[in-house]
Structure 1
Amino acid sequence: MTPAFPAAVTGGPRNPLRRAADWLDDRGKPAWIAAVVLGFIFVWPVGLAILAYMIWSKRMFSKSCAQRRAEFSAHRFGGAYRSSGNSAFDAYKTETLKRLEDEQSAFEGFLQRLREAKDKQEFDRFMDERAHKAAEPATVEDPAPRT
């Protein structure tokens, strides 16, 4: 019995569509968007099909910024935690990476406290202005005398 779908659809041997999707995945979301735009420009059903595939496979809305940043740093520094074979260098590298991670988390905490202080300052200014306006006596102009 033959399968209901050919190998090209089921992901059997590396077919051209699967290779193209993998190639676009390696280049990220901008490559997918460029493929959609080019598809719409040259043959609109192709662009529509790529857009539908991106939405259906959750490639368009799947990752948050933090996940992409983590993946980027893992890809960029993927070999950072592998052993070099030199134990002294590995110990130094581990210590340095730990120190950098600690500094990064301390700096992110500092930025968060800075944002909170700025927000509090703006809120306090707003409340002071509001209290000042409420304390001012409302001046009502006397209506024109009727004669």
Structure 2
Amino acid sequence: MTMMTDPVPATSHPGWFSRSEAWLDSKGKGAWIAAMVLGFVFFWPIGLAFLFYMIWSKRMFSKSCSRHGSWNTSRMTMTKSTGNSAFDAYKEETLRRLEEEQTNFETFLERLREAKDKAEFDQFMEERAKKNGDGTEAA
């Protein structure tokens, strides 16, 4: 008689704290602040604990809890193996392609910003030259 074991370890299920943290992260920084304020209203040590945790975990100073680090967190989750090598290879190739497209898009946006800055500067210089009256630039 062979003994069957549970393939999922007991530690794979996140605890209430991890689930609560993930839920607040999904709602954004406002949810963290609301939880902290409610903690202060109902029992001040809870609010203080929220404040210290937000400072310690750097949630207080990021632009948004869920969106600021979401790509890195999602990327770490997505690199876990599913057990199917063909799907894992497809997923990795798709993620690599998307990262490349993101890099290309960011480069494109940077070129647009530079072109806009140059156009605005050229316009400024033209207006400045017109104000001098004779069309020559002032030193």
Residue deviations 1:40-76, cap 9 Å, x none?
A: 7x56x839x83696268625643356x8646313444
The letter of the residue matching 2:34 is A
The answer for unaligned runs of 5 or more in structure 1 is 1-18, 138-147
Q: 1:131 to 1:52 in 2, by over 3 A?
A: farther
Distance across 2 between alignment mates of 1:70 and 1:84: 26
How many pairs are equivalent? 115
Distance across 2 between alignment mates of 1:91 and 1:104: 20
Q: 1:39 to 1:68 in 2, by over 3 A?
A: closer
Query: Once structures 1 and 2 are overlaid, which stretch shifts more, 117-126 or 80-89?
Result: 80-89
Distance across 1 between alignment mates of 2:116 and 2:30: 35
Distance across 2 between alignment mates of 1:127 and 1:63: 38
After TM superposition, give the deviation of residue 80 of structure 1 in Å: 1.7
What are the within-5 Å matches in structure 2 for residues 62-77 of structure 1?
62-63=61-62, 69=67, 71-77=69-75
Distance across 1 between alignment mates of 2:49 and 2:86: 53
After TM superposition, give the deviation of residue 101 of structure 1 in Å: 0.5
What are the within-5 Å matches in structure 2 for residues 135-146 of structure 1?
135-136=133-134
The letter of the residue matching 2:24 is R
Q: Could you tell me whether the CA contact under 8 Å between 1:24 and 1:32 is conserved in 2? A: no
Q: Report the identity percentage.
A: 46
Q: Could you tell me whether the CA contact under 8 Å between 2:36 and 2:47 is conserved in 1? A: yes
Q: 1:79 to 1:50 in 2, by over 3 A?
A: closer
After TM superposition, give the deviation of residue 121 of structure 1 in Å: 0.4
RMSD, aligned α-carbons: 3.7
TM-score normalized with structure 1 length: 0.57
Q: Could you tell me whether the CA contact under 8 Å between 2:35 and 2:50 is conserved in 1? A: no
Tell me which structure has the larger Cα radius of gyration: 1
Distance across 2 between alignment mates of 1:27 and 1:70: 14
TM-score normalized with structure 2 length: 0.59
After TM superposition, give the deviation of residue 122 of structure 1 in Å: 0.6
